[in-house]
C-alpha cells in the first residue's frame, strides 16, 4: 500500500485572487502547511477578482465540457456557504439573448441539449413581458438558464482566505515572489522580503503568469477591461425584484452583460468582448474614465433601452487570456511538484472552488479525478500554439 503523507507537505500559493484563495483553502483542508504570497494588499483591485459580482452560467456556450465542472461548483459554493455562514451564490437564473448565427444562443442550445439542462425558451411576447428593459424582437432568441445566477466576488475571495487561515494557512500580503527554482529535495522560493523552501508550489498569478512561467511557452495576454454601474437606488433592479443577470450577444458580435444591484452601487454592466491588450499587467491604465463609457452606452441604448444609460461609477479589471480562451490547469512539465491554474480568460471565477480543489489534488496526490483533461497544457505545441481542438 502506498501512503501519501500530505500533512507535512509545505505548499506555497502564489497569488491571493479567486483561484489562489480557493487553492489555499483546499490545500489547508487536505492537511498541507500552506503559505500564500500576495504582492499587493489582500482584496486589491489590480487583478481579476474584484468588482462585486460574477456570472455563474451552466448552459455554457463556450463548450459543453465545462458542465460537469459547473455542476460540481454549484455544490462547492453551497458547501462554502454552509461552512462560513456567508451568502455567496445567488442561483436566480440568467437571461441569455442572441441570434441564431452568433456564438451565444447556438452554444447555449448545444450545451443544454447535450446535458439535458433546465432552460426556458421564451416566446417574443413572454420575453417582452418579463424583461421589458431589453430590445427583444422576433429575430432574437431569449433563453433563461435556470441553474445560473451570480457570485459575490470579493466576499468569495475573503471567505476562502478566512477559511484557509482558520485551518492554519499563513497569508503573506504585500510580499512579491521574484524567483523560484528546484533545489533538489525542495523548491526554493525567493520573495522581495525573504527566501523560503517548499515541497510544492502552486501558481495562481492571474495576469502576471508570463513573468514567472515563461518557460511554458504560453502567452497569457493581459487585457484591460472596464465595468460600469448604472441605476443607483432604482429598486426595480435590486436583486430579488425580478431583474436577473443577463448576457446579450449583439448583431455586431459584441457581448453585453449585467447584474441586478446587490448594494447601493447599482446595476453592474460591461462588455465581455473588446478591451485593450497590454504587454504586462503593470502597464495597464487603471483609471476608468468617461471615454470608456461610450461602447457600453451604445450597446445599452440599442439593446437595453429600458435601462438608464447614465454611468454613475466605473472601474478597470484585467482579463488574463490564454491563447484559446480556455483555462490551463496542469502540473509543470519539468517538475511535477509545481502546479498551476492560468489563463482563466475572463470566465474563470465561477470555477474557482473546483480549481482550488484540483490544485490541492495535483499538488498533494499527483492527480485528480475531476474531468479537467481538456484544460491540460498538452493541447498546445512547443511554440504555444493550439495543436488540438477541445
Ligand X SMILES: Cc1cc2nc3c(=O)[nH]c(=O)nc-3n(C[C@H](O)[C@H](O)[C@H](O)COP(=O)(O)OP(=O)(O)OC[C@H]3O[C@@H](n4cnc5c(N)ncnc54)[C@H](O)[C@@H]3O)c2cc1C
Question: Does residue 227 touch ligand X according to CB under 6 A?
Answer: yes
Nearest to ligand X of 15, 260 (CB atom) = 15
Number of residues that bind ligand X (CB under 6 A): 37
C-alpha cell at 375: 484544460
Question: Does residue 340 touch ligand X according to CB under 6 A?
Answer: no
Round to whole Å and give the CA distance between 19 and 15: 8
Tell the smallest beta-carbon distance from residue 20 to ligand X (Å).
5
Kindly report the backbone phi and psi dihedral angles of residue 300, in degrees, each rounded to the nearest multiple of 5, phi listed first: -60, -45
Question: Does residue 18 touch ligand X according to CB under 6 A?
Answer: yes
Nearest to ligand X of 98, 346 (CB atom) = 346
C-alpha cell at 15: 497569488
Stretch of residues binding ligand X (CB under 6 A), selected from 27-35, 116-124, 344-352, 367-375: 344-352
Tell the smallest beta-carbon distance from residue 369 to ligand X (Å).
22
- Interface with ligand X (CB under 6 A), residue from 51, 149, 258, 356: 51
Binding flags for ligand X, 228-257, as an x/- string (CB under 6 A): ------------------------------
Question: Does residue 16 touch ligand X according to CB under 6 A?
Answer: yes
- Interface with ligand X (CB under 6 A), residue from 270, 311, 328, 338: 270
Kindly report the backbone phi and psi dihedral angles of residue 19, in degrees, each rounded to the nearest multiple of 5, phi listed first: -75, -45
**Closest to 13 measured CA to CA, from 50, 38, 49, 47:** 38
Question: Does residue 19 touch ligand X according to CB under 6 A?
Answer: yes
Question: What would you report as the CA-atom Rg of the chain, rounded to the nearest whole angstrom?
Answer: 21
221-230/276-277 β-pairing: antiparallel
Tell the smallest beta-carbon distance from residue 73 to ligand X (Å).
9
- Interface with ligand X (CB under 6 A), residue from 220, 317, 338, 372: 317
Question: Does residue 155 touch ligand X according to CB under 6 A?
Answer: no
Binding flags for ligand X, 94-133, as an x/- string (CB under 6 A): ----------------------------------------
- Interface with ligand X (CB under 6 A), residue from 11, 14, 24, 69: 14
Q: CA separation (Å) from 52 to 27, 40, 179, 300, 314?
A: 26, 19, 32, 20, 12
Binding flags for ligand X, 185-204, as an x/- string (CB under 6 A): -------------------x
Question: Does residue 38 touch ligand X according to CB under 6 A?
Answer: yes
Tell the smallest beta-carbon distance from residue 202 to ligand X (Å).
11
Nearest to ligand X of 237, 259 (CB atom) = 259
Residues at the site binding ligand X, with contacts judged by CB under 6 A: 14-20, 37-40, 47-49, 51, 54-55, 176-177, 204-208, 212, 225, 227, 270, 317-319, 344, 346-350
Amino acid at each position: 500500500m502506498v501512503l501519501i503523507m500530505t500533512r507535512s507537505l509545505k505548499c506555497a500559493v502564489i497569488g491571493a485572487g479567486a483561484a489562489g484563495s480557493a487553492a489555499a483553502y483546499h490545500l489547508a483542508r487536505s492537511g498541507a502547511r500552506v503559505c500564500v504570497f500576495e504582492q499587493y494588499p489582500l482584496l486589491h483591485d489590480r487583478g481579476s477578482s474584484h468588482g462585486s459580482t460574477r456570472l455563474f452560467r451552466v448552459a455554457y456556450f463556450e463548450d459543453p465540457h465545462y458542465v460537469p465542472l459547473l455542476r460540481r461548483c454549484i455544490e462547492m459554493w453551497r458547501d462554502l456557504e454552509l461552512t462560513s455562514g456567508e451568502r455567496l451564490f445567488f442561483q436566480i437564473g440568467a437571461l441569455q439573448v442572441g441570434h441564431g448565427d452568433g456564438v451565444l444562443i447556438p452554444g447555449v442550445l448545444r450545451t443544454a441539449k447535450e446535458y439535458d439542462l433546465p432552460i426556458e425558451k421564451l416566446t417574443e411576447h413572454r420575453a417582452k413581458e418579463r424583461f421589458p428593459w431589453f430590445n427583444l424582437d422576433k429575430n432574437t432568441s431569449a433563453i433563461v438558464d435556470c441553474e445560473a445566477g451570480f457570485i459575490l466576488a470579493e466576499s468569495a475571495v475573503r471567505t476562502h482566505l478566512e477559511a484557509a487561515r482558520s485551518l492554519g494557512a499563513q497569508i503573506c500580503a504585500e510580499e512579491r515572489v521574484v524567483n523560484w527554482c528546484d533545489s533538489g529535495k525542495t523548491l526554493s522560493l525567493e520573495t522581495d522580503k525573504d527566501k523560503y523552501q517548499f515541497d510544492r508550489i502552486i501558481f495562481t498569478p492571474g495576469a502576471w503568469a508570463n513573468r514567472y512561467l515563461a518557460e511554458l511557452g504560453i502567452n497569457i495576454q493581459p487585457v484591460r477591461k472596464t465595468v460600469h454601474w448604472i441605476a443607483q437606488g432604482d429598486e426595480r433592479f435590486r436583486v430579488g425584484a425580478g431583474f436577473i443577470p443577463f448576457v446579450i450577444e449583439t448583431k455586431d458580435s459584441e457581448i453585453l452583460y449585467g447584474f441586478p444591484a446587490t448594494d447601493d452601487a447599482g446595476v453592474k454592466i460591461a462588455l465581455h468582448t473588446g478591451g485593450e491588450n497590454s504587454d504586462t499587467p503593470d502597464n495597464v491604465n487603471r483609471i476608468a474614465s468617461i471615454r470608456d463609457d461610450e461602447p457600453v452606452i451604445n450597446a445599452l441604448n440599442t439593446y437595453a433601452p429600458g435601462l438608464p444609460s447614465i454611468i454613475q461609477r466605473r472601474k478597470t479589471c484585467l482579463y488574463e487570456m490564454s491563447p484559446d480562451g480556455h483555462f490551463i490547469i496542469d502540473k509543470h512539465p519539468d517538475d511535477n511538484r509545481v502546479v498551476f491554474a492560468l489563463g482563466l480568460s475572463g470566465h474563470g471565477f465561477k470555477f474557482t472552488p473546483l480549481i482550488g480543489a484540483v490544485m490541492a489534488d495535483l499538488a498533494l496526490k499527483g492527480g485528480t479525478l475531476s474531468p479537467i483533461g481538456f484544460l491540460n497544457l498538452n493541447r498546445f505545441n512547443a511554440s504555444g500554439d493550439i495543436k488540438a481542438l477541445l
